[in-house]
Structure 1
Amino acid sequence: MEKSKIVALEDRIPKLKEQRKRKANRRLIFLLSLFFAIILVVAYAQSPLSHVKNIVVKGNKIYSSTELISQSGISTNTNIWKVKTEDVTSHLKSLSEIKKASVNIKWPNTIIIQVQEHKRVAYLQTDNAYYPVLENGKILKDRKIAELPANSPILFDFKDGPVLNDMVTGLENLPDEILNSISEIHYSPTKTDQNHIILFMNDGFEVSATLRSFSEKMANYPSIISQLDPSKKGMIDLEVGSFFKAFDQQGEDKTVEKAKSAG
């Protein structure tokens, strides 16, 4: 019995040596692979291959892709390993019309910039120029345009402050169908209502309203005009109730003149 055990043990020694040798070889191969992988990563990081090759901009309508890329500070000379997404996002959000921004890295060398811009709800007419008014009530004085904007209400006699903010909030709450039907809005305060406004609609009607209930009552505008004769223009009063008063040609001229000279 003892002799058979000794023989069996001697038979096992070469096998144990072989197993240890294979483990040592696998360990060596792993270490060598890791070493060369590190060398490749370092070489890649230091070479032009690690530079940004593509910059994709999404969600922009007001700003051009070129403007946003320039503001981001990223170029094709930028090492992708050195791109700090938080810093790039901060640069983009410093633009007046950027509401949200995110930056993602898509390996090996693509940057994706996603932005959400503040909506332009109207334009403010001042000194024969038009300034965009954003959904947050901010007037972009560095983005004036000389030509009459299309498909956006023009605000007259408004200034920075609570009244303008209430006006913007009211416009934001309107469906696009109604918002696009408004041509002009004149701030026309009275002794009894400091929030009084007069609207000139694209269909030829005028609306007298107050900012306190503007968006709520203007939401019914399509229903109101559907009950009127489109050939008879006049003033739709939404201040207290909701009634219509037609005007003749002379009365219409006086109403427009009074509205445009108000304030």
Structure 2
Amino acid sequence: MEKGKVVVLEDRVPKLKERRRQKANRRLIAYLSFFFLFILCVLYFQSPLGAVGHVEVSGNRHLTAERIISLSGITKRTSFWKVNEQNVEEKLTRHPEIKEATVEKQLPNTIAIHVREWRRIAYVYDRQTFFPLLENGRLLKQEGTKTAPSDAPVLVGWKDGDAIAEMTGQLAELPAAVLGAMSEIHYKPTREYEDRVIVYMNDGYEVSATIRQFADKLSHYPAIVAALDRNVKGVIHLEVGSYFVPYSPPKKEDGDETTSP
């Protein structure tokens, strides 16, 4: 052997022992770190820090945030990590007024709930109570109120279920601005028009129309009113074509001359 390639074993033994000791120390540190991390996780999940701290609700209009949180089943004792978003969404959409629900976890301990409610397009007045009518045709008999609503028109004198169902479909097609301009819709069938309705508008006008083509006719209401004298109120007939009949002839100003035909 060449002299330069001779390896002295005694010189390498201490270095090998040192490397083995360092490797064993690193392994021990890794095990201890994992153990303490595991203990911290257990303590976290078992302590109040692992529970839901906040529930944020958005998108609701008629249902209160407290009602939605109650429907979700989430409390301050619920484990944040055990909340199943899909299960909570299914619970919320079981309520007849909730159309869609989205649940999201936000670290460290917040649950965000966003709901989309079915639109209330009218209220059915019966036995001195206002019952919400949803755009999907469902009548909320458990959500009746004695206070007159202002967010949708009130259906008065409606006893025919088929007529209400047909009217619901028409109202659901109306723009929100037109729907909000209505105060009351009375069911007033005649021999000539079996599906005639009288609509009292918030701006003082009265509309006589039929359920058939109601949405198509009433969607032009803003343009019709814009062409009228706002100081002269009356009935806008939309059964066939459209024409306006004032409640009474406009009062003449002092000094106006009367002319004979």
TM bucket, shorter chain: 0.7 to 0.9
**Correspondence list, 1:64-213, <5 A:** 64-159=64-159, 161-191=161-191, 193-213=193-213
Helix, strand or coil at the partner of 2:3: helix
TM-fit CA distance, 1:126: 0.8
Write out per-residue CA displacement over residues 26-47 of structure 1, whole angstroms, 9 at most, x where no aligned residue.
3332222122211211122122
- Which residue does the alignment assign to 2:252? none
Q: Give the distance between the partners of 2:90 and 2:141, measured in 1 at CA.
A: 22
Helix, strand or coil at the partner of 2:7: helix
Question: What is the identity, as a one-letter code, of the residue corresponding to 1:62?
Answer: H
Question: What is the identity, as a one-letter code, of the residue corresponding to 2:118?
Answer: H
TM-fit CA distance, 1:76: 1.4
Q: Give the distance between the partners of 1:180 and 1:9, measured in 2 at CA.
A: 96
Q: Give the distance between the partners of 1:134 and 1:208, measured in 2 at CA.
A: 24
Q: Give the distance between the partners of 1:20 and 1:162, measured in 2 at CA.
A: 87
Is the alpha carbon distance of 1:14 and 1:212 closer, same or farther for their aligned partners in structure 2, counting shifts above 3 Å? farther
Under a length normalisation based on structure 2, what TM-score does the superposition of the two structures give?
A: 0.82
- The alignment of Structure 1 onto Structure 2 pairs a total of residues equal to 249
Q: Give the distance between the partners of 2:157 and 2:19, measured in 1 at CA.
A: 90
Conserved 8 A contact 1:136-1:165 = no
TM-fit CA distance, 1:199: 1.0
Identity among equivalent pairs (%): 47
Q: Give the distance between the partners of 1:120 and 1:240, measured in 2 at CA.
A: 29
TM-fit CA distance, 1:207: 1.4
Q: Give the distance between the partners of 1:107 and 1:160, measured in 2 at CA.
A: 53
Worse-superposed segment, 128-137 or 192-201: 192-201
Question: What is the identity, as a one-letter code, of the residue corresponding to 2:153?
Answer: P
**Correspondence list, 1:216-235, <5 A:** 216-235=216-235
Structure 2: any 5+ residue segments left out of the alignment?
250-261
Write out per-residue CA displacement over residues 158-207 of structure 1, whole angstroms, 9 at most, x where no aligned residue.
35744323323332332333222211112233445443322112222221
Q: Give the distance between the partners of 1:85 and 1:130, measured in 2 at CA.
A: 35
- Which residue does the alignment assign to 1:61? 61
Conserved 8 A contact 1:129-1:146 = yes
- Which residue does the alignment assign to 2:32? 32
Write out per-residue CA displacement over residues 223-252 of structure 1, whole angstroms, 9 at most, x where no aligned residue.
112222333333222222122233439xxx
- Which residue does the alignment assign to 2:253? none
Is the alpha carbon distance of 1:228 and 1:13 closer, same or farther for their aligned partners in structure 2, counting shifts above 3 Å? same
Helix, strand or coil at the partner of 1:7: coil
Conserved 8 A contact 1:55-1:113 = yes
Is the alpha carbon distance of 1:16 and 1:240 closer, same or farther for their aligned partners in structure 2, counting shifts above 3 Å? farther
Worse-superposed segment, 17-26 or 122-131: 17-26
